[in-house]
Structure 1
Amino acid sequence: MSHVEETAEPAPGSLAELARRHGLRPAIARPRFPVYLRRLWERRHFVLTYATSRNVSKYSGSALGQLWQVITPLLNAAIYYVMFGLILGGSDRVPNYPAFLLTGMFVFTYTQRTATAGAKSISGNLSLIRALHFPRASLPLAYTIQELQQLAISMGVLLLIVVLTGELPNWFWLVIPVVLVLQTMFNIGAGLILARLGSQLRDLGQLLPFIMRTWLYASGVFFAIHDKVVNRAGLPEWVATVMYLNPAASYIEWMRDILIGSHSPPPMVWLACLVWAVLALVLGSWYFWRAEDRYGRG
């Protein structure tokens, strides 16, 4: 008995065979990764314009407008200062606790808001995705740039407050852009990963606030990690090391090391910042690209 093997070639005379013969390809076909990155770079002006327009429109309906970019983290920091600094006595064990707390809040908020926005960037823009053909990574990337633009204002306020609390500017402040570039690389990668997960898991939006709150408490925003974990809780040294290697904690600790003269985290946090930035950006870009032809379908 003879067996007829199936073939991937389109049937003669079919539309698929005609399209193949004339070099036509599906409009939603996923391009090769290098080609995808090139197309994404070509859309950089769209990404920047989209991010800027979202920033302008976000607070257009409020009386204080763009000032909410600064007021919101400041109000959060004030609440946490009363709770953790005054009521729970955190300010008694940490030098310059206001600058310590505000630095942690501003740096963590940047990553938190980027990750949360990235998770909704695909599922919240289905009409745009289905109407226009463009690299879908443009959306989570635009959300990251939007948060970076807001951070620029917040950092200006943070530096002013740090000076008012007694810290003097020095040459180490020139490293601040390096920290922010590495953190932005990490945020882009995390946003891309969460964008794909958010497009597939409808319940992610409900779980993300709890995940972010847990991450907040584990990142040393309100307390000095080594003092809290080793000196006061009596836990092994490796527990503090693991907490320092948490990406959010690493960027916070490095920024504190730059801004606060009395703060000295382990040197490994600098290396952790670099590793997390490269790892997240590479893996996040590849992971998001793998599902490029499935976004907006179904």
Structure 2
Amino acid sequence: MSQPESAVADAQAGGRAQESLAALAERYGLRRAIARPSLPAYLRQLWQRRHFIVTYATSKTVSNYSQSALGQLWQVLTPLLNAAVYWLIFGVILAQSKSIHNYPAFLITGVMVFTFTQRTVTGGAKSISSNLSLIRALHFPRATLPLAYAIQELQVLGWSMAVLIVLVLGTGEPISWLWLLIPVALVFQFVFNLGASLFMARVGAFVRDVSQLLPFILRTWLYASGVFYMITERTKGLPSALRWALEFNPAAAYIEFMRDLLIYQRFPERWAWVTCIFWAVFAAIGGFWYFWRAEERYGRG
């Protein structure tokens, strides 16, 4: 037999062997260890690991600041210091405080709410790429990692919201029954953050330069979200499509929703509810589906 014929014969034999192995695996219900499970099965796996997700998030929260003197106080001090710098620039130098009611509370609320989204998205973007050794050593649903990072930021937010409420009261705002809706607003934002975190986790896993680009993207998002100014006032005279895009911005919607409850003592308008719910549902479904589609590729190569 010539060499080409021998190669063809070997290839055919190899193909028959693979077919027989596949048939044998199917007969006994075996499947590849890294195969992507169905969506319902994937959700069940995540639910079974819910205790691990919470424990992992808590340990990350504690370890992140274990080497600093003030420890976990930095979780609250960092956004407060940022707010102080922004108040000096926008409130004093650019005189925004003259045209906006209770500008200190207005600014602190915007900074706290945006920081929650910013930190969750940043954590999600590195959740896969920074845990490759864990992913390659153990078999578990990879969505566990961005979920843990999102819950970690939710735990931090609890302390931030307590400080925010004290500061708002300190600026003279009264307690209102509308404050009972604050957990609802945070649930909307958390669901959106979770979806955005899952989306960015897949992007960060395969596009390594995203860690360099993300700070610029988030900074642009910060300035476009009405953290320092009233969007409806600053966008007068702009094209209607641009005004609509700025107001429909998810970060701006969650910030305005929280300001309505904390500062303006008014029930959020229908458009605010629709916008917040839309972004939460869209991000959660789209982000989870997008992440799940690449489940078997994480940690390979």
TM-score tier after normalising by the smaller chain length: over 0.9
> For residue 211 of structure 1, what is the amino acid of its counterpart?
I
Cα distance, 1:58 vs. partner?
A: 0.8
What are the superposed Cα offsets for residues 166-207 of structure 1, whole Å, 9 maximum, x if unpaired? 111111000000000010000010000000011111111110
Counterpart secondary structure, 1:183? helix
Change in Cα spacing, 1:263 to 1:135, as seen in structure 2 (3 Å) is same
1:211 maps to 217
How far is the alpha carbon of 1:243 from its aligned partner? 1.0
Aligned residue identity for 1:120: K
Q: Distance in 2 between matches of 1:14 and 1:177?
A: 57
CA distance in 1, matches of 2:116, 2:242: 25
Taking a change above 3 Å as real, the CA distance of residues 83 and 265 of structure 1, as seen in their structure-2 partners, is: farther
Q: Is the counterpart of residue 287 in structure 1 residue 280 in structure 2?
A: no
Q: Which residue of 1 aligns with 2:257?
A: 254
Q: Which moved more, 1:25-34 or 1:266-275?
A: 266-275
**Where do 5+ consecutive residues of structure 2 fail to align?**
1-11
Counterpart residue number, 2:75:
69
User: 1 CA distance for matches of 2:192 and 2:266?
Assistant: 24
Q: CA deviation at 1:235?
A: 1.8
Normalized per residue, the structure richer in helix is 2
Distance 1:225 1:13 in 2: 63
CA distance, structure 2, for counterparts of residue 264 and residue 212 of structure 1: 29
Q: Which residue matches 1:102?
A: 108
TM-score of the pair, normalised by structure 1: 0.93
Aligned to 1:23: 29
Aligned to 2:231: 225
Residue 138 of structure 2 is aligned with which of 132, 137, 149?
132
CA pair 11-84 structure 1, distance change in 2 beyond 3 A: same
Give the aligned partner of residue 176 of structure 2: 170
Q: Distance in 2 between matches of 1:259 and 1:238?
A: 29
1:193 corresponds in structure 2 to 199
CA RMSD of aligned residues (A): 1.8
- Deviation (angstroms), 1:238: 4.5
* Match among 27, 50, 55 for residue 44 of structure 1: 50
**What is the distance in 2 between the residues matched to 1:128 and 1:265?**
44
8 Å CA contact retained: 1:244, 1:269: no
How far did residue 240 of structure 1 move?
A: 2.7
2:84 to 57, 78, 84: 78
Q: Distance in 2 between matches of 1:242 and 1:253?
A: 15
Q: Distance in 2 between matches of 1:139 and 1:229?
A: 39
Query: Alpha-carbon deviations, 1:102-143, whole Å to 9, x = none?
Result: 000000000000001100000110000011111100000000
Decide whether aligned partners of structure 1 residues 12 and 180 sit closer, same or farther in structure 2, where only a CA change above 3 A counts. closer
TM-score with structure 2 length normalisation?
A: 0.92
SS in 1 for 2:235: helix
User: Which shows bigger deviation, 19-28 or 244-253?
Assistant: 19-28
Q: 8 Å contact 1:114–1:144 — kept in the other structure?
A: yes
CA 212–10 in structure 1, closer or farther in 2 if over 3 Å, else same:
farther
Query: What's 2:246 paired with?
Result: 243
Residues 72-118 of structure 1 show CA distances to partners (whole Å, capped at 9, x for unaligned) of: 00000000000000001111110000000000000000000000110
**Could you tell me whether the CA contact under 8 Å between 1:254 and 1:269 is conserved in 2?**
yes
Deviation of residue 229 (structure 1)?
1.2
Count of residue correspondences: 288
CA distance in 2, matches of 1:223, 1:42: 44
- Contact 1:73-1:105 at 8 Å conserved across structures: yes
Give the corresponding residue for 1:3: none
- How far apart, in 2, do the equivalents of 1:264 and 1:77 lie? 26
The 3-state SS of whatever aligns with 1:166 is coil
State the identity as a percent.
63
Q: How does 1:107-186 map to 2 (within 5 A)?
A: 107-186=113-192
Contact 2:178 2:265 in 1 (8 A): no
Q: Could you say what secondary structure the match of 2:238 adopts?
A: coil
